[in-house]
């Protein structure tokens, strides 16, 4: 056991200390604290808080420090917001960028509308919950205070479904999504189902009032088509489809995207998913939307067909990592929105930097890949404004970013600012 002083919170929400010349990460410790910890390599297990931070508060969940779902739950709100906003500041600084960053926007709302539970089989019994921090150990939980009310029955349903497949001995992931029509569930890891398993799963879906149950995206039972609301549209959700984690998060991001596109006549929405932005943008502009997931694009178009008052919306399946829209293909658009996965949009950012598009709206779930893509756009002559960090993953190190890049501002004299 060693006594350590915590210098700061790291980018994963762990306390950062020093043991001689070695940097040590201490989960659940806060900046400014003196703690007793057991060191193993470059990580340590927190044993005792000797001198607590004045910013330490009581956590809201009894599973905190056991379940790995939350990294920073014992930090007072103001200090928490500073830390989370600082994650974006640090990523920009590390990329050599000095850009104005707005305050953190709280977009937790009613809670997470999607969650992935993990199941591991122990002598015929399914253990269901979340994984411990930096571990594959399952921490069984009965409830999670971060989930939206529509997922209140999710853990009970997850245990029932996993228990039916416990005899296989395979680890499972159970993807739950709250929809307008109830919970939508996609099982991952089971493989092809036997007839008796299918029957038992259908019965469990009935007992737990699931809207739909799928296995690796293949339908097991459909009781009600799961729909989500996107602007004026109702969109049929593909199994396991990507959604922003909270409804409040989607609304906060979309509001900024729509505002930045005000006055646009033609808009391209890249990495469009099921149309969280495209369907809203189509209320005022002609939109062309692209995503590699063909089922997501089809769902977006189905939502558009059922909505009234939309301008023309075109959708196409296209892998923008290997086939980004070229600068020539981007020429007809006065606004482009892109919201890539965590890896960012390296190839597409390079094409945008060579294009003459007036306004590019970047949405990102990774501060590091955002900083890289932003640097490419800035080097291509864009200037940045309205950088906003958005927190829909409360108590975690994940943060969303929305930013507007403009050639018009650049022509007006605003310059890229580099550190050093």
Q: Report the catalytic residues.
A: 365
Report H helices in 121-246.
154-164, 195-207
CA 387 to chain centre: 18
- Beta-bridge partner residues of 269: 289, 337
Q: Is 211 left (phi over 0), alpha (psi -120 to 50) or beta?
A: alpha
Report H helices in 103-219.
154-164, 195-207
Question: From the DSSP assignment, how many helices (H) and strands (E) are in the chain?
Answer: 10, 23
* DSSP letter, residue 90: H
Contact (CB, 8 A) for 61 and 144: yes
Contact (CB, 8 A) for 257 and 277: yes
- What angle separates helix 195-207 from helix 154-164, to the nearest 10 degrees? 160
SS3 at position 401: strand
* DSSP letter, residue 132: P
Contact (CB, 8 A) for 394 and 369: no
Q: Which helix (H) or strand (E) holds 337?
A: strand 335-338
Give the span between the Cα atoms of 48 and 38, in whole angstroms. 10
Q: Which helix (H) or strand (E) holds 186?
A: strand 182-188
């Amino acid at each position: 056991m060693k006594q350590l002083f915590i210098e700061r919170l790291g980018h994963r929400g762990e306390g950062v200390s020093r043991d001689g010349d070695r940097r040590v990460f201490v989960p659940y410790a806060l900046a400014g604290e003196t703690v007793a910890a057991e060191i193993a390599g470059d990580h340590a297990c927190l044993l005792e808080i000797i001198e607590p931070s004045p910013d330490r508060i009581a956590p809201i969940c009894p599973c905190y420090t056991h379940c790995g779902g939350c990294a920073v739950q014992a930090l007072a709100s103001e200090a928490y917001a500073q830390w989370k906003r600082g994650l974006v500041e640090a990523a920009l600084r590390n990329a050599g960028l000095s850009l104005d960053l707005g305050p953190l926007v709280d977009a937790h709302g009613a809670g997470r509308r999607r969650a992935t539970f993990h199941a591991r089989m122990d002598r015929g019994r399914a253990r269901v919950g979340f994984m411990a921090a930096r571990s594959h150990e399952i921490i069984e939980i009965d409830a999670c205070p971060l989930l939206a009310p529509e997922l209140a029955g999710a853990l009970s349903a997850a245990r029932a479904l996993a228990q039916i497949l416990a005899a296989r001995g395979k680890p499972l992931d159970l993807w739950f999504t709250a929809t307008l029509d109830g919970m939508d569930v996609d099982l991952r890891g089971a493989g092809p189902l036997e007839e008796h398993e299918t029957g038992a799963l259908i019965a469990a879906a009935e007992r737990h009032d699931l809207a739909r149950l799928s296995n690796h995206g293949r339908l097991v039972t459909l009781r009600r088509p799961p729909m989500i609301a996107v602007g004026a549209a109702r969109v049929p959700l593909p199994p396991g489809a990507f959604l922003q984690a909270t409804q409040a998060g989607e609304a906060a991001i979309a509001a900024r995207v729509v505002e930045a596109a005000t006055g646009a006549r033609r808009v391209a929405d890249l990495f469009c998913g099921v149309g969280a932005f495209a369907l809203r943008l189509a209320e005022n502009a002609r939109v062309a939307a692209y995503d590699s997931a063909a089922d997501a694009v089809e769902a977006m178009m189905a939502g558009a067909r059922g909505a009234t008052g939309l301008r023309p919306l075109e959708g196409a399946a296209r892998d923008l990592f290997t086939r980004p829209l070229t600068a020539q293909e981007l020429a007809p658009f006065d606004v482009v929105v892109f919201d890539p996965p965590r890896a960012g949009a390296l190839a597409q950012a390079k094409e945008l930097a060579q294009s003459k598009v007036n306004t590019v709206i970047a949405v990102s779930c990774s501060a590091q890949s955002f900083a890289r893509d932003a640097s490419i756009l800035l080097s291509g002559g864009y200037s940045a404004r309205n950088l906003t960090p958005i927190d829909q993953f409360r108590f975690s190190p994940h943060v969303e970013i929305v930013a507007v890049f403009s050639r018009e501002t650049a022509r007006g004299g605003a310059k890229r600012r580099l550190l050093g």
